[in-house]
Amino acid sequence: MKVAIVLGRGIEGCGVTKYTVELERWLLNNSHTPMVYASKDKKWSRNGSHEIQNLVHVRFDRDGFDEVYEGCKSSDIIIFNSLPSVNHSKKCQDRFSTLLDLDVYKVFIQHDHNKSSLRRNSVLQDSYEKSDIIFAHSDTGDFADIVNTPNLFDMRERDIHLMQPGISFSHYEGYYKSVEDQDMKHHKWIGRTARWKNYDMMFDFHNKYLKELGHLTTFEGIDKSPIFMELKNRNKFFDEVVSETDTIDLKDRYGKDATVFGDYNNKEMLNRMSKCGFGYQLSLLEDRFIKKSLEYTHLEIVAVGAIPVFRKEYGDVCIHRHYDKPLTELDSGTIWLSENNMEKCIDLVKELSYNEELREEYRNKSYEVYSYYDSKYTTQDMFDKMEISYRMKKNENE
């Protein structure tokens, strides 16, 4: 099957790009023929973070769009993975809209959670009204509210199908290290400069507890966005945001302030994470946005063999896609960190730092539990739903 994946916003180098990489990998592994069509109308600082194998990267407001249009027109399925922003040129937005009018089975995946992010999407209403099936992380979030708002000109009922990001765990096996090859005293947070990524909790945990143990904390993905000065004014750290990560000697920074690095290449970051004892993902999201979804930074930590340290409140509400229970109720080899249990967590960190047998047990448990978020399950579930919808549309047209 020929599948077009359209990135109307472009290659932003964060979660949507990562989703595209994993989706393309799954399609190739399942004998489909994918092609990614990404807008180049806006330049993103992280556009080199990930590698897309089959890519047409052109400005939609120029002649290169003809290749995008003809490629999508000749596809069996078009998957819209992002929309142009309201700040993209009108010509870019208008040309993107022509793809929504093609007589091809159309899939819309909405990754944004809240209204402020959704408002930055151009042609949002057309994207879900003209698509044949809709996927989102939650059916109780702001996007669901928008879709379910009555429209006198289009009264059709639309289902929002749940989706969860997934990775091909087997693809990460080359990064996985033995416990003997990991630095038990190295803690790494990965994310970006967005408040909801909750870097402040990582700073607090390091300053109150990890520093006293003589441990090392590094951050990766902090960029000098408008709120960088807010982060810098609150927290004291070694500022290596513009430094080449692998050139910095960290041996004298154990037991001192955390070290903060900037944007990363995903493959290089994964290799560094695999050598760390502990990986941190502490995102803040409203309960109604979560449902069963984890972020890629959750899964990457597990896939490369670091002990996962996740925010407890997230695990309390995130329902495991297989076991159908909150993650915190499972024996998952995870340290569940919150503002109120840091002393309990640091005791467990101490034990894991010196007990290799326990570390191996935690790693095996986490791999077992989170491997249900392998793309062979998550993406296959999506395509099963798409196949049902596709057949229904085909029967209607016959």
Q: What is the mean pLDDT of residues 116-137?
A: 93
Q: What is the mean pLDDT of residues 87-116?
A: 94
Q: Which SS3 state, helix, strand or coil, does residue 276 take?
A: strand
Of 37-51, 105-119, 372-386, highest mean pLDDT: 372-386
* Ranges for all domains in the chain classified under CATH 3.40.50.2000: 2-166+376-397, 169-373
CATH of 2-166+376-397, one of 3.40.50.2000, 3.40.190.10, 3.40.50.1820, 3.30.1280.10: 3.40.50.2000
Q: What is the CATH number of domain 169-373?
A: 3.40.50.2000
Q: What is the mean pLDDT of residues 82-110?
A: 96
Residues 6+ apart with CB under 8 A from 388: none
pLDDT bracket for residue 398 (50, 70, 90): low
pLDDT bracket for residue 341 (50, 70, 90): very high
Tokens 């047409």 — which residue? 56
pLDDT value at position 191? 95
pLDDT value at position 48? 83
pLDDT bracket for residue 43 (50, 70, 90): confident
Q: What is the mean pLDDT of residues 70-81?
A: 97
pLDDT value at position 113? 85
Residue 44 has pLDDT above 90, yes or no: no
Residue 152 has pLDDT above 70, yes or no: no
% of the chain with per-residue pLDDT over 90: 87
Give the model confidence (pLDDT) of 257-298 as tens digits: 999 999 999 999 999 999 999 999 999 999 999 999 999 999
pLDDT bracket for residue 154 (50, 70, 90): low
pLDDT value at position 153? 63
Q: Which contacts (CB < 8 Å, 24+ apart) does range 227-233 have?
A: 227/193, 227/194, 227/195, 228/193, 231/193, 231/199, 231/200
pTM above 0.85, yes or no: yes
Q: Which contacts (CB < 8 Å, 24+ apart) does range 208-213 have?
A: 208/342, 209/342, 209/343, 209/346, 209/349, 210/346, 210/349, 211/255, 211/256, 211/257, 212/255, 213/185, 213/255, 213/346, 213/349, 213/350, 213/353
